Structure 1
Amino acid sequence: MYFLYNLLVISASAIINVLALVNSKLSLFVKGRKETISLLNQSISKEDKVIWIHAASLGEYEQGLPVIEQLKIHHPTHKIVLTFFSPSGYEVKKNSKIADVICYLPMDTKRKVKSFLTDAHPDIAVFIKYEIWPNYLNALKKADTPTYLISALFKDNQIYFKWYGGFMRNALNNFTHFFVQNKKSKSLLNSVGFTNVTIAGDTRFDRVSEIVKSDNELDFMKRFKKDQFCFVAGSTWAEDEKNIIDYINNNTHPIKFVIAPHTIKDNHIQEIIQSINKKVVRYTNLEHGDLENCEVLVIDTIGLLTKIYSYADIAYVGGGFVTGLHNTLEPAVFGVPVVIGPQFDGFAEAEELVQLGGVISIKSNSQFQEVVDKCFNSNDYRSKIGRINTDYIKEKAGATTRIVAELNSVLISNN
């Protein structure tokens, strides 16, 4: 089976290299990986103690960030190597100061695995949520490197729990310990013979809890919102924007609207602006717009949404009409009602918050209008829903402390 797996990875690499000639995202994927070894050699010496953290993409990075921050505090003499699999994570965070080296993870071939681990020589390896790479895990086990999977989430339909999933189940044998998000994940691992499992929770709750404590002040948002009711829509897709823009164009309430689309390409931003019949300004054109008197602000850059949510009286999180719901915790932590589309199965926190009533799922334009109107007209209703969200996040926090305690003990014992 290993022969077939290695053949598949090598074949996939060859195909990606060809497709990268005509696909800009895959081009980043290929070119970035060519720099990995040189980035390691520039910053990591043979004498360095190294902590390796791997995240598939930006979402997993956000989950791992609280753990990385704590490890830096507790082990300041260790160097941290942070790897990404996806360009959507690496290209956003490649210039961050959170790690000593930020690079792409080379493909999971035996040759590239050996090269990477020789240069990185980690004292401990931490994978976040889903990342299972058999060759990396085998090599780490052979090198006696403690290896952890954190904020892990397992589901019935995954290959590890199928009769034909023996190869990938064997890959799991290489983990020293699993820190899982919930009882279901632990039960599934137990069902296939794994007892090295701890229910620690999801580190994202710690991440968003820290966001509230941060300085979220934005001068342009203070000027834009003033003392008016503010609706913030984040990570929206075209299907979400249809309902939002229809409401903007037809409602008569004194509401300030912020739209931060998932896609910030100029043609899409122009489509949004042209479809709105009220005074609108885009973020990158603030100096030429009448911000204070505009009713709609379109965010055409990345990195601001989390802080913008702090100004919301009600928030909308996109993706729920296209089976790719974005992060509902970021607005929820600010104690505001959160509205989403109808497709949120598999997003545990959204499922739980919909059941509790802190997140409201809508299926139609009329439902969307009804929810926003109700939140606008009733401070009590809005506050009640917001408290559900903040209480839920407080209850779920603490995963980072549980995980870091174990990692600290291993790192200290290895010194």
Structure 2
Amino acid sequence: MSGPAAPLPVRLYGVAANLIAPLAYRRVRAKLEAQGTPAGRVRERMGRATVARTEGRVVWFHAASVGESLSVLRLIEEMGLQQPDLSFLITSGTATSAQIVGKRLPPRTQHQFAPLDSRRAVARFLDHWRPEAAVFVESELWPNMLRGAKARGLPLALVNARISDRSARNWKRLSATARHLLDHFTLIHCQDARTARHFHDIGLAHAAPGVNLKSLSGALPFDKVELTRLREVIGARPFWLAASTHPGEDEVMIEAHKALLKTLPEALLLLVPRHPERANQIEVQLAEAGLTSARRSTGMALTPDTQCYLADTLGEMGLWYALSPVTCLCGSFAPVGGHNPYEPAHAGSAILHGPLYANFSETYADLAAQNAATEVTDARALAKELTTLLTKPDTLATRRAASRAFAAGQADALHDMAETLSKALSLG
């Protein structure tokens, strides 16, 4: 693969990636098919397109999974409004992202699974799509993909870049490799000042902090008819949402809800696992905790006796945020790094979260400063905060208004970001 002379680790990686591609594809194929991906689409992972390329100029966006993909949809839409001759391709690697993003594609946008990072898969992909430029999201830095795109003269941008302190230490130990890969990008837009500083430390002076794209994604869509129905079913019951739980966090949510029931015996917990395939395990945990539950994916009715509604479906998070006056945003009680707080903020839900949120540290600091989010450390603290919010309507209303105001204040930068990106990619 042509391009700038590569450091030894990059060359070794290239050889290894090409050798193990068949084995990697078998594993990826088994996982995607197990998650319901149509067999015909799985071959996209080897760079074999399953849809025709649109005519004209195509801009390629590549993201890892659901959150990263959703974060750029409004940016794509804005770029399309500014330049009606552009079409867009967004790639990702997971079945969940394909299902969710596929339902929310902006005009003139297609989705494909990303090619595995082998020379042949990347070449097939680029031969078919012939993109005008490429945009990589957050931390999706695949060496063969980057070098293959650059070798064909594509201008490249990295947007919403994020790097943890631990990853930064590793990059510094391999600073020549890091610079080689990241120098492929004409523009490096960082989602926070910490990431920009890390990039500067390894010699990338053009990395610059900017607005977090996840703050520009807007409110998630939802079914308004279903929202009205659920409001009628729940009625006056106090309720709260545990959003995007990971292993180890369900226990915290369950313990907090049991404590809340002592004060509010009619309280309802809406529990949404990050990965719906964990629902069987969570259902057992709820039963062992003595809580009555109903499971959405099986069509079980939510009744006045239901203490926990297990919302194990895909693509309905916007519904749960719009419905719930209070959201405990998980991924923050387990070492995951936190999840996107802008989504519940746009819906006007008061936000609670745990202490582990490195991926959104600056955002949560801003939320806390505006009284739009509160950190709780464990189930006991969570139950105490829930009791306050669900028994004091004025306090809850104030917190919800602060959450909504925070989200609204982030949206002004979308137009400028689209213009900056188009200019950096020489799109006119």
* TM norm structure 1: 0.85
CA shift for structure 1 position 219: 3.3
Which residue among 119, 124, 127 is the counterpart of 2:133? 124
User: How far off is 1:173 after superposition?
Assistant: 1.0
Correspondence list, 1:120-269, <5 A? 120-158=129-167, 161-208=171-218, 210-211=219-220, 218-249=227-258, 250-253=261-264, 254-265=266-277, 267-269=280-282
Aligned pairs (5 A) from 1:263-342: 263-265=275-277, 267-275=280-288, 277=290, 280-286=293-299, 289=301, 291=303, 294-324=306-336, 325-342=338-355
Question: In the alignment, which of 349, 353, 357 is matched to residue 344 of structure 1?
Answer: 357
Structure 2 residue identity aligned to 1:339? L
Deviations 1:26-66 (A, max 9, x none): 97799755235786374116x53211110111111011111
- Out of 342, 348, 367, the position equivalent to 1:353 is 367
Instruction: Provide closer, same or farther for how the CA distance between residues 216 and 341 of structure 1 changes in structure 2, counting only shifts above 3 A.
Output: farther
* Structure 2 CA distance for partners of 1:371 and 1:127, relative to 1, 3 Å: same
Alpha-carbon offset, residue 84 of structure 1: 0.9
Which of 75, 82, 103 is the aligned partner of 2:90?
Answer: 82
Other-structure match for 1:59: 67
Check conservation: 1:50, 1:122, Cα contact below 8 A.
yes
Whether the 8 Å CA contact 2:45–2:121 is kept in 1: the answer is no
Shift of 1:373: 1.1
Measure the CA separation in 2 of the matches of 1:341 and 1:48: 47
Distance 1:360 1:193 in 2: 37
1:70 to 2:78 alignment: yes
Aligned to 2:3: none
- Superposition RMSD on alpha carbons, in Å? 3.3
Structure 1 residues without counterparts, runs of 5 or longer: none
The Cα of 1:141 is off from its aligned counterpart by 2.6
Preserved contact between residue 257 and residue 296 of structure 1 (Cα < 8 Å): yes
Q: Is 1:407 the counterpart of 2:418 in the alignment?
A: no
Cα deviation per residue 1:245-303 (whole Å; 9 max; x = unaligned)?
334444241433312223433522531552465654322455x6363664542212121
Identity %: 19
- Which segment drifts farther, 55-64 or 237-246? 237-246
Distance in 2 (alpha carbons) for counterparts of 1:385 and 1:96: 30
Which residue identity does 1:171 align to in structure 2?
A: L
Which of 52-61 and 148-157 deviates more?
148-157
- For residues 216-260 of structure 1, give each alpha carbon's deviation from its aligned partner in whole angstroms, at most 9, with x where no partner exists: 862332222223332111122353332333344442414333122
* 1:378 paired residue among 392, 406, 410: 392
Q: Residue 153 of structure 2 aligns to a residue in which SS?
A: coil
Partners of 2:276 and 2:53 in 1: CA distance: 36
How big is each residue's C-alpha offset from its partner over 1:88-131, in whole Å with a ceiling of 9 and x where there is no partner?
42354356544643212212223322222121111111111111
Mapped contact 1:336–1:382 kept (Cα < 8 A)? no
- Cα distance in 2 between the residues matched to 1:408 and 1:247: 48
Q: Structure 1's 213 and 273: CA in aligned 2 closer, same or farther, altered over 3 A?
A: closer
Q: 1:365 aligns with which of 379, 385, 391?
A: 379
CA distance 1:376–1:194, shift in 2 (3 Å): same
* 1:359 Cα offset (Å): 2.6
306-315 or 211-220, which moves further after superposition? 211-220
Q: Contact conserved, 1:358 with 1:389, CA < 8 A, in 2?
A: yes
SS in 2 for 1:310: helix
Return the alpha-carbon distance in structure 2 between the equivalents of residues 168 and 275 of structure 1: 49
Is the Cα contact below 8 Å between 1:200 and 1:402 reproduced in 2? no
Q: Normalising to structure 2: TM-score of the pair?
A: 0.82
